Amino acid sequence: MIAGSWHEQEADKLVNLATLADGWGRIVLKHRKLFPYVLPNGAIEDIHSGEELPVLVFEDALVAFGICRDFCERGGLGRPNPYTALDVDICSVVSYGSENTMENHLKTADDVRIKYRTRAFIVQQGDETPNVGYVLSPYTPNGTKAGALATKTSWNRAPKT
Strands 2-10 and 13-21, sheet pairing = antiparallel
19 pairs with which residues across the strands? 30
Task: Output the pLDDT for position 97.
Answer: 87
Q: For residue range 61-73, what is the model confidence (pLDDT) as tens digits? A: 999 999 999 999 8
Phi, psi (rounded to 5 degrees) for 133: -130, 180
Angle, CA of 120, 122 and 124, to the nearest 5°: 160
The residues near 150 (Cβ < 8 Å, ≥ 6 apart) are 99, 126, 132, 133, 134
pTM across the whole model: 0.86
Residue 155 pLDDT grade (very low, low, confident, very high; cuts 50, 70, 90): low
The residues near 81 (Cβ < 8 Å, ≥ 6 apart) are 70, 71, 73, 74, 75, 108
Q: Give the largest Cα separation in the chain, rounded.
A: 54
Percent of residues, the chain, with pLDDT higher than 90? 58
Q: For residue range 16-64, what is the model confidence (pLDDT) as tens digits? A: 999 999 989 999 999 999 999 888 888 988 899 999 999 999 999 999 9
Q: For residue range 63-105, what is the model confidence (pLDDT) as tens digits? A: 999 999 999 988 777 788 999 999 999 999 999 988 899 999 9
